[in-house]
Amino acid sequence: MLPNLGYGVLLLTFLVTLYSVVIAIVGHSKKSAAMIESARRAMLLTWPLLTISSAILIYLLVNEHYEVEYVWSVTNSTMPLYLKVTAWWGGQPGSLLFWGWLLSSFTSAVAIRKWDRDRDLLPWVLVVAGITLAFFLSLNVFFENPFKLIPGVAPLDGRGLNPLLRHPGMIIHPPAQYLGFVSFTIPFAFALSALITGRTDDRWIRLTRRWTLWAWLFLSLGLVLGMRWAYDVLGWGGYWGWDPVEIAALMPWLTGTAFLHSVMIQEKRGMLKHWNMILIILTYDLVLFGTFLTRSGVLSSVHAFAESEIGPMFFVFIGFTFITSIALVIYRWADLKSETEMKSMLSREALFLLNNLLFLSILVVSFWGVIFPLLSELFTGSKVTVGPPFYERATGPLWGGLMLLMGVAPLSAWGHSTIKTLGRAIWKPALVALLAPIFAFANGITNWIPLSGFTLVALVITVTINEFGRGALARSRKSDENFFVELWNLTKRNRRRYGGYIIHISMVLMGIGILGIELFQTETQRHISIGDTIELAGYTLHYDDLAQFPHEDGRYITRAEMTLVKDGEVIDQLTPRFDIYPGGQPMTIPGVRSTLVDDVYVILVNWEGISANSTPFKVYHNPLVKWVWIGGYVFILGILIAAWPEEEN
């Protein structure tokens, strides 16, 4: 009964969404305010309907209704309540429903706002967002039904959630990623509405500014949480392996970041209008493309695409939205002409344009790395993989260029800037930044790559702190208020600018961690017995004991106990372990000792042969990696400040 009700409500939502799209188009063509209002109310109805359908699915998951195929595939009786709830997005049918529910939430939030000034945009926002929602609902209705029943007698227990998805990071990571993905639909809908109606001013940008900021926040947060999950669970000693799934999430982040910077130029100078339209279109379609890659099965093999029921649907929809959007841009190309001309190659707008080019260059490298194995398999029958060295060599200088821009762009002037004026502004911060490579060289670092990287990090931090200090000092002298009070007031009154500066600091803090682990990571692997030791990077690991035992949730745990020693002093106890879930699903949990200076990261490997007499360990020494996570925390602070409503001066 409940599964049929859940599917029925889902089907009804799909029909209501189609009604909203059609009646909005008809209402616009007939200039009928009543029909457009009907379309708006129909869109508002999608959220409560999908909430009912989602609540039914959660009820089925929590109450172990194994007659439902989806419930059987992602839950079992040993899973705690919170995992049964989060299993909502633990498999393909449920995650598609979750995506649709989020999109209906955002679309309803947009539809409920006051439209007095933008009545001409309303029907087309409903159409674009509604078509996207209808597409995802169609996947659930026709191909991936989360309420599908298992024929015959219901199983006594379920298969259970993939162990890798039981980590706290993966419980939060998918919702954050989906929030970022789905939120970008709203600025895309407004952009296309502006193109359709011929409104080529920056009104659509101002209406969607905070949508874009929050979308970017969640997309970034999803990436960081995914990195943390990989570091804690996958046992490869790092957090980023240039896996196609990782790159699928990175690509819309690249264009979304470029878009966030680029729209400021249109708002301030009336420039880069073509860029902004193309960037938001790319971001939206890269969101779809990333979902297509991970949902169609094409990443495992191009042959899986033919076997996938939703792969061809995604392919057609991506093509339709991309071609239609670009056609609209071409149609309005003359109307999108810049209001002012770029007069200096060192002006701030010119540097922002270079910023766009660098982000798109990284996108091209990432996109080619993802599709090349697929193309090689399609045309030669042999799959040629693209590994991390390709990405690191190709994108490393581009990331360095972006970091340099973060240090230089705040010092350039709008409209016109020269080498002389820029040099006068940058020489003092640059002089201070040189202390970083001098300190690194004094500590034995002689390779020019890390020395250059630490110089750029120091330059960005110095310039950013100088920007805060200069502004607060000027206000303090003018008002006779305390410097720190004026620093707070300055940030409150220009949240977007100074929140952005904090985000820049977060990026370079993450850069410190990336430089540390990428350039200075060392590792060793050995079989040792209880009582033996492993040495690496000045640390000694004593192997104390091995325990193997079943857990009440069905896991079989193998856990080693190790003492970490440095300079003859015991500094920590590490317990790397290997969990085997029912069905033979393994999960590696490293033992990690983390400080601001370095991480000691120990894993059990080759679990089939583990015994007290000969236990295989792999040990990594990861310098500075904790700064990646510190940068993530600072990033959240920066985006919250930037997205918060500004106070009037």
What is the mean pLDDT of the segment spanning 564-572? 93
Alpha-carbon span 280 to 258, nearest angstrom: 9
Confidence band of 384 (pLDDT split at 50, 70, 90): confident
Model pLDDT, residue 378: 78
∠ CA 322-325-329, nearest 5°, is 135
Alpha-carbon span 398 to 402, nearest angstrom: 6
What is the mean pLDDT of the segment spanning 611-615? 76
Kindly tell me if the per-residue pLDDT of 274 is higher than 70.
yes
Alpha-carbon span 287 to 251, nearest angstrom: 8
Model pLDDT, residue 648: 46
CA distances to 83, 120, 229 from 172, rounded to whole Å, are: 11, 38, 10
Model pLDDT, residue 115: 86
Kindly tell me if the per-residue pLDDT of 191 is higher than 60.
yes
Kindly tell me if the per-residue pLDDT of 239 is higher than 50.
yes
Model pLDDT, residue 312: 86
Please state the domain extents for the chain: 1-161, 522-628
What is the mean pLDDT of the segment spanning 12-26? 97
Model pLDDT, residue 303: 43
What is the mean pLDDT of the segment spanning 510-535? 92
Residue recorded with tokens 């071609």: 323
Kindly tell me if the per-residue pLDDT of 609 is higher than 60.
yes
What is the mean pLDDT of the segment spanning 609-620? 82
Alpha-carbon span 514 to 507, nearest angstrom: 10
Model pLDDT, residue 608: 65
Kindly tell me if the per-residue pLDDT of 463 is higher than 80.
yes
Amino acid at 229: W
Chain centre distance of CA 160: 27
What is the mean pLDDT of the segment spanning 424-441? 90
Kindly tell me if the per-residue pLDDT of 100 is higher than 60.
yes
Q: Beta 539-550 vs 556-566: how paired, if at all?
A: antiparallel
Confidence band of 299 (pLDDT split at 50, 70, 90): low
pTM over 0.75: yes
Q: In the 8-state DSSP scheme, what is residue 231?
A: I
Q: Which H or E element spans position 572?
A: strand 569-574
Q: Per-residue pLDDT tens for 474-512? A: 777 777 777 778 888 878 778 888 888 999 999 999 999
Token pair, residue 29, equals: 């063509």
Alpha-carbon span 189 to 107, nearest angstrom: 10
Q: Per-residue pLDDT tens for 24-66? A: 999 999 999 999 999 999 999 999 999 999 999 999 999 999 9
Q: Is residue 602 within 8 Å of 582, Cβ to Cβ?
A: no
For the ranges 160-169, 186-195, 565-574, 640-649, which has the lowest average pLDDT? 640-649
Helix pair 388-408, 448-479: axis angle to 10 deg = 30
Alpha-carbon span 202 to 33, nearest angstrom: 25
Alpha-carbon span 14 to 12, nearest angstrom: 5
* DSSP character string of 53-122: HHHHHHHHHHTT-TTBHHHHHH--TTS-HHHHHHGGGSSHHHHHHHHHHHHHHHHHHHHTS--STTTTTH
Model pLDDT, residue 306: 46
Please choose, from the candidates 305, 293, 17, 56, the residue with its C-alpha nearest in 3D space to the C-alpha of residue 135. 17
Amino acid at 335: D
Model pLDDT, residue 394: 94
Q: Which of 416-425, 484-493, 523-532 has the highest mean pLDDT?
A: 523-532
Higher per-residue confidence, 100 vs 154? 100
Q: Per-residue pLDDT tens for 216-228? A: 989 998 898 888 8
Model pLDDT, residue 425: 87
Average pLDDT of the chain to the nearest whole number: 89
Alpha-carbon span 514 to 624, nearest angstrom: 8
Model pLDDT, residue 317: 95
Percent of the chain with pLDDT over 90: 55
Kindly tell me if the per-residue pLDDT of 210 is higher than 80.
yes
Token pair, residue 253, equals: 């982040």
Question: Terminal CA-to-CA distance of the chain, rounded, Å?
Answer: 59
Model pLDDT, residue 62: 95
What is the mean pLDDT of the segment spanning 97-118? 92
Kindly tell me if the per-residue pLDDT of 304 is higher than 50.
no
Instruction: Count Cβ atoms within 10 A of the Cβ of residue 556 and give its class: 0-12 exposed, 13-18 middle, 19 or more buried.
Output: middle
Kindly tell me if the per-residue pLDDT of 588 is higher than 80.
yes
Number of other residues whose CB lies within 10 A of the CB of residue 29:
10
Higher per-residue confidence, 584 vs 125? 125
Kindly tell me if the per-residue pLDDT of 531 is higher than 70.
yes
What is the mean pLDDT of the segment spanning 415-426? 85
